[in-house]
Chains A and B, each alone.
Chain A
Amino acid sequence: MQQVKNKLGVVFFPAFDWAISPTHPERQERLLYTMDQLKEEGVFDIPGIREYKPELASRQEIEKVHFCFPDVLSNITDSHLISAGGCIKAGKLVMEKKEDKAFALVRPPGHHAMKVVHGGRGFCNINIEAIMIEYLREKYGVKKVAIVDTDCHHGDGTQDIYWHDPDTLYISIHQDGRTLYPGTGFTSEIGGPKAKGKTINIPLPPNTSDEGFLYAMENVVLPILDDFAPDLIVNSAGQDNHFTDPITNMNFSARGYAKLSEMLKPDLVVLEGGYSIQGALPYVNLGIVLALAGLDYSYVKEPDYDPKKFEMDKRTMDYIKRICETARKNYFSPPQSSITLEKDGNWIVRNKEIFYDTSYIVERQKEYILDCENCRGVLKIESSSSRVKNCLAIEAPINCCEKCLNTAYMEYDKAKEKGYSHIQFIDRVNKKVLR
């Protein structure tokens, strides 16, 4: 009989009746063989590993995190409510100590969904990790959270949501943005003025295999986590770094993913991307499940895996080591920005242009963050997209000071006069959303 070291809850929801389109990577078939493999291995019969079904996230839980324009419902389907609800369920299992760890093996994914949502980006509409984390913060008072994103694509959505939050450490290991969607996630991206060093990017070159990933884990991720000492570690476990993935160029293996999970010891794991649905997902998911539960995964191996084929040359490893060194410094001694910040009174301003590749929408944003000495500051975003124009978003964050909260309400009252097409005001202090 196999003995688990950690009790593991798996919220498994393959959404067998949902696809972006019939032949899209994000289609019904995606978790079919993963289900077959997990069932055939009898994983859910192992004492200490239990399968759960997701709950449905509510509109309120989404509105707490996202500014959705024109509104939540026109941006999502039931499948999104379920995958976000699956994450919330996983979070509850751990917070209520029913399980030591939980894995939300759900789809569709979420890490490309940003703070403002006008449509789908990179197969994501809402950020399921962020919805879970903010739910856990509000319900259980969780404070410091670390998100380690091991999807092959840079999690630009999660980065955007937590850009200004010093209590959320976001670390992303991904394929270099010069060679892959979404084209971001460079070492120079280190977080907003109040959260410098709380966003860490580790862009790895194409063809990086186990050695490179595990080097980054050991030399960057683990030391940073040690120092940050989060209350909760969340792993955005995309599986598209796999050597068989059809839309990326990395050489990570199932056993590598298992080893990574074993090293990271996340409390919560959320499936993100991963589109090699036959050659990778069954083995990677099995490896992750076994590693999380603390079971032997040494027999988990893709049929066509030959580590010799993926050995890394010294030059590439040296390059990776340099990237890792920069990423480390970004956390332990974040560089002061060389560009002077654009300011508008007390507001620090950023201009952004966002492309929604899945929904084919372009959005222009002007983002304001109030430069406050006492808290991370009120967030205000003016947003216009090719779908909905002239929207305003205001957020008073969870630990917002009283002055900022008053400012937020004043801004909201002022905005009502100004003829915006849509206004959303998130007041996390009083747990309210006004529209």
Chain B
Amino acid sequence: MLFGIDVGGTHTDAVLIDKEVGVRAYVKIPTDPDDLLGSIRGAISEILSQEKGVEIERFNLSTTLCTNAIVQDLLEPVGVIVSAGPGIDPHKFSIGNYYEVIPGGLDHRGTEIYPLDISHANKVISNLLDYGVKVFSVVSKFSPRNPVHEEKIAELIQDKADFITLGHKLSGQLNFPRRIATAYYNSAVWPIFDKFLDSVKRCLEEFKLSPQLNILKADGGTMPYNTAKRIPVESIFSGPAASVMGIFGLCDITEDTIVLDVGGTTTDIGVLAAGVPLIEPENVRLKERPTLVRAMKVKSIGLGGDSAVRVNGDKIEVGPKRLGPCMAKGGDVPAFLDALNCICDETYGDKDASFKGMHKINENLKCSLEETPIRIVEQGCKILKKEVSEFIDEINERPIYTIHELLEFRKIEPKKIYLMGGPANILKKFIEKEFGLPVVVPEYFGVANAIGAAIARPTMQAELFADTEKKIMTIPVLGIKENISKNYNLKVARKDIQKNMSIYIRENLGWDIDLSELEIIFESSMNMVKDVFTVGQDIRVKCQVKPGICKDYENVVRCVCNR
């Protein structure tokens, strides 16, 4: 059985899924932001009280712990040590309170152009240790091409630090400033996340459970306990990805599709291209700093149930600000949800308060009182439509580097909308009208995020880079660096990356992965020419295990929502 749990900002959702019957139990409880572990414990005990004596195979957790720690600045001081070489002044990428640049540099092919100043590095390190810095991040420019400088610096710190993040181990993508930010945050959240993971493990033991513990990532995949302890930063922003994975699991989608998850303060927009969730190797921003965290292509916009409604001239404005809860929940300012509350048959919280809010709005409007909530909801849908189409345009504008791709380019054109979140059922017909597209509200939409977490599988991406002139091959994230022959070619490279990834996945993720799941998403082999002679090949291969759902559970969770 699978246990999926999504500890979100306001709610903690959990589900228990059985291989034979599908969803066996689910709960939704408020999250206590000061005690996430307590929320987890609460959800487990409620589920276990509904379903006694179950055997849980996998426990998949999506948590906002790291995101919160970053937003609230509850971060461990990190010694960030970088080496750069020519280009943009590396001091411009400074992050945290202990950012140090060590002389030394590599070029775009990983060739050392300035040697690393080891004595400078030693001085810097001992100073940082004196300040009481315990965790470090080491990043050099072009380290995915050659990790030598990162490794040399790490050697100097090794025995003196609690934790070290090496830039090249996070991603093989080239982007020095992102690598710095990602490595910084990885170390900065490590202590709090490490402790948290251990306590989750103990908590499971208290319930006499010993499942495999996995953490959900922003790309809609999972990582096991051990990996999560090494790259905690990957756990950020997993919530929206969990929702998209939920829809992906619940519904059998084959066309271009939009997923809208309407929450309290924001709506998350996700996109499935021909039924496959869109992933970006570099999507997540933390405190305005873009990172290399692979994430599902999701856009959050400031429109949710609690988004404040006001009148400006003769125009209704909804969001993006939240000024406390909606009036139905005791707030002072009419919000989007108050409008929805007034036009549906069911009652949410204090319906009279919502009506009061509509009165307030109506004072400044020319339309009738009855029309007021409808116009508010329509305005909200208009905003959604605009944001969605900008988002789709942005996706369709993505750069392309080959003639083949440019000529074969297929635009994303959504054909359907999947709607989830609290007010989904009321919003359905308005969204349908505004977008002119069929809208589906799937079964279990309220806990689709937890379902998504439960059925998610590991994901991974690795980049191989081979230079047959230098006769080296590297796969940075796997820490592989091998000597190769002059005859090394794309065919061998393809096999190499798939083989090494499958070994890694088997040994670290406990999954005997089928080769067909290791998808080559980019490959190139280019002649390197000196004067007029070919001196070697520059070979690049990117391979991914894309987000997917456990095959054993695919049929039982799929609902009949494609009406």
Residues of A within 8 A of B (CB): 1-2, 12-18, 22-23, 27-29, 32-33, 35-37, 39-43, 45, 51-54, 56, 78-79, 82, 246, 278, 282-283, 286, 290, 295-296, 298-303
Q: Which residues in B have their C-beta under 8 angstroms from that of A295?
A: 88
A282 to B107, CA, bound (A): 10
Q: Which residues in B have their C-beta under 8 angstroms from that of A303?
A: 85-86, 105, 107, 113-114
Ordered by A's residue number, 8 sampled pairs between the chains whose C-beta atoms are within 8 Å are A13-B400, A15-B402, A17-B402, A17-B403, A40-B174, A42-B93, A42-B177, A298-B89
Q: Which residues in A have their C-beta under 8 angstroms from that of B145?
A: 36
Q: Is there a chain A Cβ closer than 8 Å to B560's Cβ?
A: no
Q: Is there a chain A Cβ closer than 8 Å to B313's Cβ?
A: no
Residues of B within 8 A of A (CB): 85-90, 92-93, 105, 107-109, 113-114, 141-142, 145, 173-178, 288, 290, 397-404, 406-407, 524, 526-529, 531-534, 538
Min CB distance B226 to A, Å, is: 30
A37 to B108, CA, bound (A): 6
A246 to B399, CA, bound (A): 30
Is the pair A12, B399 in contact by a Cβ cutoff of 8 Å?
Answer: yes
- Contact status of A27 and B109, CB under 8 A, knowing A14-B401, A53-B400, A298-B89: no
Q: Which residues in B have their C-beta under 8 angstroms from that of A246?
A: 531
Q: Which residues in B have their C-beta under 8 angstroms from that of A32?
A: 526, 538
Is the pair A42, B175 in contact by a Cβ cutoff of 8 Å?
Answer: yes
Q: Which residues in B have their C-beta under 8 angstroms from that of A13?
A: 400-401, 406
Is the pair B177, A29 in contact by a Cβ cutoff of 8 Å?
Answer: no
A36 to B176, CA, bound (A): 11
Min CB distance B318 to A, Å, is: 27
A16 to B532, CA, bound (A): 19
Q: Which residues in A have their C-beta under 8 angstroms from that of B85?
A: 303
Is the pair B529, A23 in contact by a Cβ cutoff of 8 Å?
Answer: yes
Is the pair A16, B534 in contact by a Cβ cutoff of 8 Å?
Answer: no
Is the pair A16, B526 in contact by a Cβ cutoff of 8 Å?
Answer: yes
Is the pair A78, B407 in contact by a Cβ cutoff of 8 Å?
Answer: yes
A78 to B408, CA, bound (A): 12
Is the pair B174, A39 in contact by a Cβ cutoff of 8 Å?
Answer: yes
Q: Which residues in A have their C-beta under 8 angstroms from that of B114?
A: 303
Q: Which residues in B have their C-beta under 8 angstroms from that of A53?
A: 397-400, 406
Which residue, of B93, B290, B526, B532, has the highest number of chain A Cβ atoms within 10 A?
A: B526
Min CB distance B47 to A, Å, is: 42
| 8 nearest A-B pairs in the assembled complex, by CB-CB distance | A42-B177, A303-B113, A40-B174, A17-B402, A299-B89, A39-B174, A36-B108, A301-B86
Is the pair A29, B528 in contact by a Cβ cutoff of 8 Å?
Answer: yes
Within 8 Å by CB of B178, from A14, A16, A45, A56, lies A45
Is the pair B401, A35 in contact by a Cβ cutoff of 8 Å?
Answer: yes
- Contact status of A16 and B401, CB under 8 A, knowing A40-B175, A54-B406, A299-B89: yes
Within 8 Å by CB of B406, from A42, A52, A56, lies A56
Min CB distance B398 to A, Å, is: 7
Q: Which residues in B have their C-beta under 8 angstroms from that of A78?
A: 403, 407
Q: Which residues in B have their C-beta under 8 angstroms from that of A278?
A: 108-109
Is the pair B406, A82 in contact by a Cβ cutoff of 8 Å?
Answer: yes
Is the pair B174, A36 in contact by a Cβ cutoff of 8 Å?
Answer: yes
Is the pair A40, B290 in contact by a Cβ cutoff of 8 Å?
Answer: no
> With contacts A45-B178, A299-B90 known, what are 4 further pairs, Cβ within 8 A?
A32-B526, A42-B93, A51-B399, A290-B88
Min CB distance B56 to A, Å, is: 42
Within 8 Å by CB of B86, from A12, A23, A290, A302, lies A302
Look across to chain A and name the residue whose beta carbon is closest to the beta carbon of B180.
A42
A286 to B108, CA, bound (A): 13
Is the pair A1, B288 in contact by a Cβ cutoff of 8 Å?
Answer: yes
Min CB distance B474 to A, Å, is: 14
Is the pair B538, A29 in contact by a Cβ cutoff of 8 Å?
Answer: yes
- Contact status of A296 and B89, CB under 8 A, knowing A40-B176, A278-B108: yes
A279 to B62, CA, bound (A): 47
A54 to B405, CA, bound (A): 12
Min CB distance B400 to A, Å, is: 5
Is the pair B527, A29 in contact by a Cβ cutoff of 8 Å?
Answer: yes
A300 to B113, CA, bound (A): 14
Min CB distance B189 to A, Å, is: 21
Q: Which residues in B have their C-beta under 8 angstroms from that of A82?
A: 403, 406
Within 8 Å by CB of A29, from B142, B290, B400, B529, lies B529
A51 to B531, CA, bound (A): 31
Look across to chain B and name the residue whose beta carbon is closest to the beta carbon of A10.
B399
A299 to B103, CA, bound (A): 13
A300 to B87, CA, bound (A): 4
Min CB distance A35 to B, Å, is: 7
- Contact status of A40 and B86, CB under 8 A, knowing A45-B290, A303-B113: no
- Contact status of A28 and B142, CB under 8 A, knowing A39-B174, A278-B108: no
- Contact status of A29 and B526, CB under 8 A, knowing A45-B290, A283-B86: yes
Q: Which residues in B have their C-beta under 8 angstroms from that of A282?
A: 108
Min CB distance A308 to B, Å, is: 17
Is the pair A22, B534 in contact by a Cβ cutoff of 8 Å?
Answer: yes
A342 to B246, CA, bound (A): 80
A158 to B397, CA, bound (A): 31
Which residue, of B93, B113, B174, has the highest number of chain A Cβ atoms within 10 A?
A: B174
A15 to B86, CA, bound (A): 26
A27 to B397, CA, bound (A): 26
A56 to B400, CA, bound (A): 13
Q: Which residues in A have their C-beta under 8 angstroms from that of B531?
A: 246
Q: Which residues in A have their C-beta under 8 angstroms from that of B402?
A: 15-17
A189 to B242, CA, bound (A): 68
- Contact status of A2 and B92, CB under 8 A, knowing A53-B398, A56-B406, A300-B86: yes
Is the pair A28, B89 in contact by a Cβ cutoff of 8 Å?
Answer: no
Q: Which residues in A have their C-beta under 8 angstroms from that of B173?
A: 39
Q: Which residues in A have their C-beta under 8 angstroms from that of B92?
A: 2, 296
Is the pair B534, A42 in contact by a Cβ cutoff of 8 Å?
Answer: no
Min CB distance A310 to B, Å, is: 17
Look across to chain B and name the residue whose beta carbon is closest to the beta carbon of A13.
B401
Min CB distance B519 to A, Å, is: 20
Is the pair A42, B178 in contact by a Cβ cutoff of 8 Å?
Answer: yes
